[in-house]
Structure 1
Amino acid sequence: MIRRLIEIYNYRQMLSSLVLTDLRTRYKGSVMGFLWTFLNPLLLLAIYSVVFSFIMRQNIENYPMFLFCAILPWTFFSSSIQSCSGIILRNSNLVKKIYFPREILPLSVIIAGVINYFFGLVILIPSLLLTGIHINISLIAFPLILFVQTLLVLGVSLIVSAMNVYFRDLEHIIAIVLQAAFYITPIIFPISMVPKEFQMYFLLNPMTEIIQAYRNIFYYGTMPDFAHLFLYLLYSFIVLVIGWAIFNKLQKSFAEEI
């Protein structure tokens, strides 16, 4: 793995180019272009706030911000995995014509996703302050939470991007699974609303603890549960190692399968 990481580092210029291409083409041709990077989270926030605050009567103080703290990391998670599921096939000409570490393709999507997440924070943090939620020292835990999530996203993305080359219905299945996962992750509701006998099943979903950790530092102004977070760090690392192994095994025949 170390040798592979060194090789990816040697192709860092290609990686940077792919990240920039992803960011530039995401809204290419649209009238407002790059502004959609900021408008997307705002529109999602507006829609979910109306639906769950007024129509479904969620009685949570400052519910829009409660929701926004969870929507941003979930969007990073779901959009990265969905995009990575078809990344090898979308770059089939590149894969067939030149040699490069194939991991660069899903990695570029995830780096672009992290950058977009930071753009979302440009909206989130001022919104929190404007609605009376104060940012405090708990924010220092943000890099650790993001690191745990990024490892998880990368591991899952390596698996789905490689397997989709051989089983092309997987991309569509992933979309359905992610839609279902949205409702079994405490995004639109706190985990405390789940009956205690069922909470353990929700905690099997790693995004449950990650979402709660983000909400702790942004919305509640408290430190995350570091014991749980380090447990999920180990979990995410295991997923990454498994994903890396599967990707490296399957990538040998990418050119032939494409």
Structure 2
Amino acid sequence: MLKKIKEIMAYRQMLESLVLTDLRTRYKGSFFGFLWTLLNPLLMLMIYSLVFKYVMRVQLENYTTYLFIGLIVWTLLSQSILSGAGAIIRNSGLVKKIYFPREILPLSVVLGGAVNFLFSLLILIPMLIINNISLGISILLFPGILLIYLLFVLSITMIVSSINVYFRDMEHISNILVMAWFYITPIVYTTDMIPDSLQSVFNLNPMKVVISSFHDMFFFNKLPNTGDLIYLICVTILLLIISSFLFKKLSRKFAEEI
């Protein structure tokens, strides 16, 4: 693992170039360009707020802010998986012509998503100020929890992108699975709306831990649950081991398959 990290660091200029290329091509040809980084979460917020606040009547003070936090955190995962699924195929020319750590391809997509997420905070911070929501000591955990989350997202993106080289339907299946995953994660609703009989099942969802942790830090001004964080760390480590093994095994014939 350390050897692979050192190898990726040796190709950091290539990684930076791929991240910038991903950000440019994502909005290439659009009128608003990079402004879509801010417009996308705002438009999603308007739609979901209308449906769940005024139609489904979710009762929570400052619900719009609560919803926005969940949406920008979720978007990092969903965009990374859906865009990362085709990352290796899109860069088939590079894969066939030169050697580089193939992990750089899904990693560049995740880092691009992280940049978008950080830009979304430019909207969140004013929202917190306007709604008189103060940040407490729990915000000090933000860098650490974000790092764990990025590793979690990276491991899933590596799995999906490597399988998609051999099984192209994976990209379409991912769309359906991500949509289903969204609705079983407390983003548009609160955790206390989950029936008691299903709480234990929902607690197995790592994204419930992630979303709840960000809500705790930015909305409820309290420390995230320690047990939940330990569970998230364990799941992330397990996924990193599985994804690293699978990616290494499948990457041997990437050039032949694409």
TM-score between both structures, scaled by the size of structure 1: 0.98
Q: Does 1:100 align with 2:86?
A: no
Q: Does 1:54 align with 2:26?
A: no
Partner of 2:248: 248
How far 1:178 sits from its partner (Å)? Answer: 0.4
- Could you list the per-position Cα deviations for residues 108-165 of structure 1 after superposition, in whole angstroms to 9, with x for gaps in the alignment? 0011111110001111111111112112222111112212211111111111110000
CA distance in 1 between partners of 2:225 and 2:144 (Å): 12
Partner of 1:205: 205
CA distance in 2 between partners of 1:254 and 1:220 (Å): 46
CA distance in 1 between partners of 2:233 and 2:122 (Å): 26
Partner of 1:5: 5
Task: Specify the code of the residue in structure 2 equivalent to 1:57.
Answer: R
Partner of 1:133: 133
How far 1:4 sits from its partner (Å)? Answer: 1.6
SS of match in other structure, 2:173: helix
Task: Specify the code of the residue in structure 2 equivalent to 1:170.
Answer: M
Task: Specify the code of the residue in structure 2 equivalent to 1:127.
Answer: M
Does the Cα contact within 8 Å between 1:83 and 1:109 map onto a contact in 2? Answer: yes
How far 1:41 sits from its partner (Å)? Answer: 1.0
CA distance in 2 between partners of 1:192 and 1:226 (Å): 19
Task: Specify the code of the residue in structure 2 equivalent to 1:230.
Answer: I
Partner of 2:222: 222
Task: Specify the code of the residue in structure 1 equivalent to 2:175.
Answer: A
Does the Cα contact within 8 Å between 1:129 and 1:135 map onto a contact in 2? Answer: no
Does the Cα contact within 8 Å between 1:84 and 1:160 map onto a contact in 2? Answer: yes
Partner of 1:155: 155
CA distance in 1 between partners of 2:95 and 2:79 (Å): 23
SS of match in other structure, 1:187: coil
Task: Specify the code of the residue in structure 1 equivalent to 2:162.
Answer: A
CA distance in 2 between partners of 1:44 and 1:87 (Å): 25
How far 1:78 sits from its partner (Å)? Answer: 0.8
CA distance in 2 between partners of 1:25 and 1:114 (Å): 16
SS of match in other structure, 2:253: helix
How far 1:227 sits from its partner (Å)? Answer: 2.6
Task: Specify the code of the residue in structure 2 equivalent to 1:63.
Answer: Y
Task: Specify the code of the residue in structure 2 equivalent to 1:33.
Answer: G
- Could you list the per-position Cα deviations for residues 64-114 of structure 1 after superposition, in whole angstroms to 9, with x for gaps in the alignment? 011111111100011101111111111111111111110000000011111
CA distance in 2 between partners of 1:51 and 1:67 (Å): 12
Does the Cα contact within 8 Å between 1:85 and 1:170 map onto a contact in 2? Answer: yes
How far 1:230 sits from its partner (Å)? Answer: 2.1
CA distance in 2 between partners of 1:4 and 1:220 (Å): 39
Does the Cα contact within 8 Å between 1:187 and 1:211 map onto a contact in 2? Answer: yes
How far 1:47 sits from its partner (Å)? Answer: 1.1
Partner of 1:17: 17
Partner of 2:85: 85
Q: Return 5+ residue gaps in structure 2 as ranges.
A: none
Q: Return 5+ residue gaps in structure 1 as ranges.
A: none
CA distance in 1 between partners of 2:78 and 2:233 (Å): 19
TM-score between both structures, scaled by the size of structure 2: 0.98
Q: Does 1:39 align with 2:36?
A: no
Partner of 1:195: 195
Runs of 4+ in 1 over 4 A off after TM superposition: none
CA distance in 1 between partners of 2:227 and 2:169 (Å): 38
CA distance in 2 between partners of 1:52 and 1:2 (Å): 46
